[in-house]
Amino acid sequence: MHHLKGKKLLVMDRTALGACAVRRAKELGLNTIVANFYPEEDSPSKQIADEKVDIDISDIDAMVALIKERKVDGVFVGWTDSHLPFYAEICKQAGLPCIGTAEQFETLSNDKRMFKQACDKYGVPTVKEYHLDINLRREDLDKIEYPAMVKPADSSGSRGVRRCDTEEELVAYYQKLYEESASKKIICEKFMECPNEIFLNYTVQDGYASLSATFMCHHVKNAETNAAPAILHMYSSPYIQLYRDTVEPKFIEMLKGLGVKNAILSLQGFVDNGKFYFHETGYRMGGGRSYVFTERLNDISALDMMIEYAVSGTIISADLKEKDNPVFSKACCNYYVPLKPGKIKEISGLEEVRKMPQVLDIAICHKIGDEISKTNSLDSVVYRMHVMDDTAEALAHTLSKISSTLQILDEEGNEMQLEPLTFERALERTSTICLR
């Protein structure tokens, strides 16, 4: 990656995940600028950048002027769907490489309804959707089978997603979402009772779409919320071959039809009785950062590839056809640590966890003094850990050790972990891991 040294990268993501991109860019020898309107104490990426600029990224003219003034070579958008339209327009006006167009971002990230329409066109199976609008017509409501899932068409990170068990609950929540939504696009779908939730991560290089990683998502057990937050992402999925035999050719044809050339994206859905039902995709870096595992196991990093493309317009440092393999050789997982509502008063055990050789990386999302609200979204997660071990059983031992080592207390001295992991619970969830 010597050809990147000295290049200047503008990062638009303020978060702890954005800080991961800034850190890696600096390791590769790039100069980094972080631009957003947040104060430095609320922007982890600003805290480690070479330069920080207080600017609203939605101000296209100001962003383009900044790029020209600072002689920026490329823009990195990061992990936030709402940034994508601004990113596309900024790159267009500044004449810089962009991993997609405004239309592609709309279809593959920002509008779940448009995504499902594209899936229908190419034969990619989706979760059953019920027709419903703000008029809430009796003939439409009578066709809904309960439980049903209601969510905004333009959200991410499980924000706004809710299971509704009765018509009364559905109508009230639909109206609430409609009032709060800027787009006024609300989706009502069949609630998938099956526990097999699958994510598939793709990297695209010069039009070649490669399946880089797959994982099964496991949610908190017996959570108070009616759509429990995620706690573990287990790699690799046992359904890889079934997916490749039945769906992948159609999805790849869909990406070609949409003109995707150099990008990273994800596909999310369910496996039920040997059939797939997809409901969402993301045309951006995924919060699970599966590249932390693929870099170690396959010598492929989607983060490096996207940084390289941002400042050069090409990807020459990696060969997906030669090295990419979604079936991992070791048991891997993203361990999300969701918290109960309350204010964090005390944290202990984090440094001990950080020293464990199986813990590859920890992204810190909250700190002492932060208030955790009651939510089923990823906003309740305090740590996002990448954990890797030799076998599924060994991984279960490691996960339970991490959970018992951490202590996160609220103002009353109560443990805030939403689900402390026992070895038995962890083993139940690692038992389906597929290794090569």
What is the mean pLDDT, run by run of 10 residues, along the chain of 436 residues? 92 91 96 95 94 96 97 94 94 97 94 92 96 93 94 72 92 92 87 88 96 95 66 96 98 97 95 94 92 97 97 93 96 96 97 98 92 83 96 97 97 95 94 92
Task: List Cβ neighbours of 23 (8 Å cut-off, separation of 6 or more).
Answer: 48
Contact 98, 310 (CB under 8 A): no
Task: List Cβ neighbours of 348 (8 Å cut-off, separation of 6 or more).
Answer: 406, 407
Residue 228, in any domain of the structure:
yes
Residue 111, in any domain of the structure:
no
Q: Supply the CATH number for residue 352's domain.
A: 3.30.470.20
Indicate whether 251 and 367 sit together in one domain.
Answer: yes
Based on the number of CB atoms within 10 Å of its own CB, is 371 exposed (0-12), middle (13-18) or buried (19 or more)?
A: exposed
DSSP classification of residue 126: B
Indicate whether 327 and 253 sit together in one domain.
Answer: yes
Q: Supply the CATH number for residue 61's domain.
A: 3.40.50.20
Indicate whether 314 and 417 sit together in one domain.
Answer: yes
Based on the number of CB atoms within 10 Å of its own CB, is 287 exposed (0-12), middle (13-18) or buried (19 or more)?
A: buried
* Final residue of a structural domain among 190, 212, 235: 190
Indicate whether 256 and 352 sit together in one domain.
Answer: yes
Residue 105, in any domain of the structure:
no
Give the number of C-alpha atoms closer than 13 A to the C-alpha of residue 7, restricted to the C-beta side: 24
Enter the tokens of residue 6. 């000295």
Instruction: Quote the pLDDT of residue 378.
Output: 77
Q: Which residues pair with 12 in a beta bridge?
A: none
Indicate whether 202 and 167 sit together in one domain.
Answer: no
Indicate whether 49 and 149 sit together in one domain.
Answer: no
Indicate whether 34 and 180 sit together in one domain.
Answer: no
Instruction: Quote the pLDDT of residue 225.
Output: 47
Indicate whether 256 and 330 sit together in one domain.
Answer: yes
Indicate whether 186 and 216 sit together in one domain.
Answer: no
Domain boundaries, position 45: 2-98
* Residue from 67, 61, 107 nearest 84 by CA: 107
Contact 411, 345 (CB under 8 A): yes
Indicate whether 62 and 93 sit together in one domain.
Answer: yes
Contact 202, 321 (CB under 8 A): no
Residue 227, in any domain of the structure:
yes
pTM of full prediction above 0.75: yes
Residue 110, in any domain of the structure:
no
Contact 357, 407 (CB under 8 A): no
Residue 106, in any domain of the structure:
no
Residue 178, in any domain of the structure:
yes
Residue 115, in any domain of the structure:
no
Indicate whether 176 and 206 sit together in one domain.
Answer: no
What domain count does the chain have? 3
Enter the tokens of residue 214. 């797959």
Q: Which helix (H) or strand (E) holds 231?
A: strand 230-235
Query: Rounded CA gap, 363 and 345, in Å?
Result: 19
